[in-house]
Structure 1
Amino acid sequence: MRPLTDEVTAQIEAPPEQVWALVSDVTRIGEFSPETVAGRWTGGSTGPEVGATFAGKVVRNGVGPTYWARCRVTRSEPSRRFEFAVGTTSRTVNTWGYRLQPFGTGTQVTEYYRLEPTWPVRLYWALLGRLRSRTNRRGMATTLERMRQVLEER
């Protein structure tokens, strides 16, 4: 069975604080992600603090089905890390995040995901993990490349 986690790293010629401001602004994710086409803060949340909630509009595999995923910020370390859990308040399905490190005159940014090892997730991953893993990897690479283009144009 494929691992329940993966990551993609890119170099961006922008300082960590600019990269962090972009990756932690969930209202802009639709500009970058091939699957999450919109995002909005929910429950009175207005920014990337631990415990803040938001919803991401997902178009699965870029074609559907379409649904809103509930998310909660689990780590928010300006210029270093932004991470959020996807699921309900009582059950996390997966966690997505970004790790940032200064690198030369720019930033090394790593997007990652980690699936929770529940039996339904393990069964799903055993059946469709190869395809979903490939889709996730391509999506992370696309997201980081689109972010790189925006940040390096400044």
Structure 2
Amino acid sequence: MGGNLIGIYSGLYCLVAVIVTIFLARLKKENFRIALSIAMFLSAFSFGMMYFAHDLIWMTIAFVIFGAGWAGLNIYPVTFITDAVSREYMGSYIGLMNVQICIPQIAASLLSVVVLPLFKGSMPAMILFSAFFFLAAAFSSLLIKNKDI
């Protein structure tokens, strides 16, 4: 049943992300930094909810909230790069951004055999732990000045 549910929940959060992205794209540029921070706070909150949810309704709500956060996590970093870099170097910088996403994912996958036992094999505990990284990122994004974007 869990395998089927993750497929449904993945589709749900992606659908929510598409809908929310339509609205996020209409925000004024001055609000992008705050919107990115809110997206990371929503993601942290949803990961915490996923840890504490013990029924399908709360888990569904957690994935809907994550979808809203995921929208901002996808739209704003790319927007910051495309606004700051000349067209001549755009491909290189977008490629570097993809590298900074992929390398940590590969490292996390390889290190999961070491990290998972630290959480006594509890995947929900690892998700809760990752919520703290989202919180740190949310606070860090508030340090960005609008003139830097």
Would you call these one fold, judging by a TM-score over 0.5? no
Bigger Rg, which one: 2
- TM-score for both structures, normalised by structure 1: 0.27
- TM-score for both structures, normalised by structure 2: 0.28
| Structure showing greater relative contact order (alpha-carbon pairs closer than 8 Å, 6 or more residues apart) | 2
Structure with greater strand percent: 1
